[in-house]
Copies of this chain bind each other. A is one copy, B any other.
Amino acid sequence: MMVLHIHRRGPRTTASFSIMAPPVLSTPEQYQELLDSVDTFLLDCDGVLYHGSNVVPGIKQVLPMLRRAGKKIIFVTNNASKSRRMYVDTFRKLGLEAQAEEIFGSGYASAVYLSKVLNFPKDKRVYVIGEVGLEEELDSVGIGHSGGTDPEDRVFMEKDGFGDIKPDPSIGAVLCGFDIHINYKKYAKAFSYMRDNKDCHFLLTNQDPTYPTSFATGDPDQPIRHTIFPGSGSISYPLVYASKRTPTVIGKPNTTMMDAILAEHQFDPKRALMVGDNLATDIEFGINSGVRTLLVMGGVTKREAIFGDEPSKTVPDFVMESFGDLAVLDKQ
């Protein structure tokens, strides 16, 4: 573990526990020391590299700089609505570079988990609550599926429609991710497959309660609004509550995601760093996986959660204002 030449704040005692605040990196010397200690950067995307369609200042310099320095970069995102292919496109449009192999979305990780961990039978299919990106990732590992973007499941059913929900013994798993076309027919079908078959697997791409997004407001005083809406974990919850089952959750902070990454990349966890803006997903994921963690501000974590009187029990190894601040090291 590197030693940083800065002073940690002293321990603060709250009602039930005492927590040491993490060191805040803010000088070029501290940034360089961090870089020297890391070979592999595991980077959350939204909140670290960009906010919606706005690239974080400095990031366009930082990523090529890390590559030139021989660092391995792996993008680790809970967003399952985009496939790796779609992420490459998104990155290109934002002026960032990425290879499909560098990208681990929770959709791809779910497909890998089904295929490699569960050895999902070839004659079974997955019922998908989710979008085209999730379907693409199942396709990429050769797993058949139904639901998802099928227009027959993007409808509002009526109360006399229950009889139309037929048993389907070919369904071997329900996989639930973010689905902006969620509707009762999808819930009813997914529920019925689990109700009628106790061996049907139940997977969530992730359990994020909220989904951060941003949009143009038309208000000159606040042209872009960053806010949150119900996320994938929330959308999935009706099936958890109705079925009374405990799903297998793939995305951060669960180590299933790291298992999927390590199945395709070799690296030394001691020389890796998970960078994210979310304590509950990114930082917990790093801690659960035995990797050091760097929290960046400006995303979903409020400053009080780290430096307030009642700090979160989840403490990153380091804090930085923005991952883009590393651009100050760029000699080119």
Query: Do A230 and B191 touch (CB < 8 A)?
Result: yes
| Number of residues from A at the complex interface, CB < 8 A | 43
Interchain CB contact (< 8 A) of A163 among B188, B215, B230, B240? B215
Is A195 at the interface (CB under 8 A from chain B)?
yes
A84 CB, nearest partner CB in chain B, Å: 19
Is A162 at the interface (CB under 8 A from chain B)?
yes
A215 CB, nearest partner CB in chain B, Å: 4
A314 CB, nearest partner CB in chain B, Å: 16
Bound together, the chains give a CA A195 to CA B215 distance in angstroms of 17
CB-CB < 8 A to A307: which residues of B? Answer: none
CB-CB < 8 A to A241: which residues of B? Answer: 209, 230, 233-234, 237
Query: Do A238 and B239 touch (CB < 8 A)?
Result: no
With both beta carbons as reference points, the residue of chain B lying nearest to A224 in the complex is identified as B163
Bound together, the chains give a CA A237 to CA B176 distance in angstroms of 15
Query: Do A213 and B156 touch (CB < 8 A)?
Result: no
One complex includes copies of this chain to the number of: 2
Known: A163-B217, A187-B234. 17 other contacts (CB 8 A): A154-B156, A156-B181, A156-B183, A160-B215, A162-B215, A163-B225, A165-B229, A180-B184, A181-B183, A187-B230, A188-B229, A192-B229, A209-B241, A230-B241, A231-B242, A234-B241, A234-B242
23 A-B pairs, CB-CB below 8 angstroms?
A: A156-B181, A156-B183, A160-B215, A182-B182, A182-B183, A182-B187, A184-B230, A187-B229, A187-B230, A188-B229, A188-B230, A191-B230, A195-B228, A209-B241, A209-B244, A229-B242, A230-B242, A231-B242, A234-B237, A234-B238, A234-B241, A237-B237, A237-B241
Q: Name A residues whose Cβ lies closer than 8 Å to a Cβ of B.
A: 154, 156-160, 162-163, 165, 179-184, 187-188, 191-192, 195, 209-210, 213, 215-218, 225, 227-231, 233-235, 237-242, 244
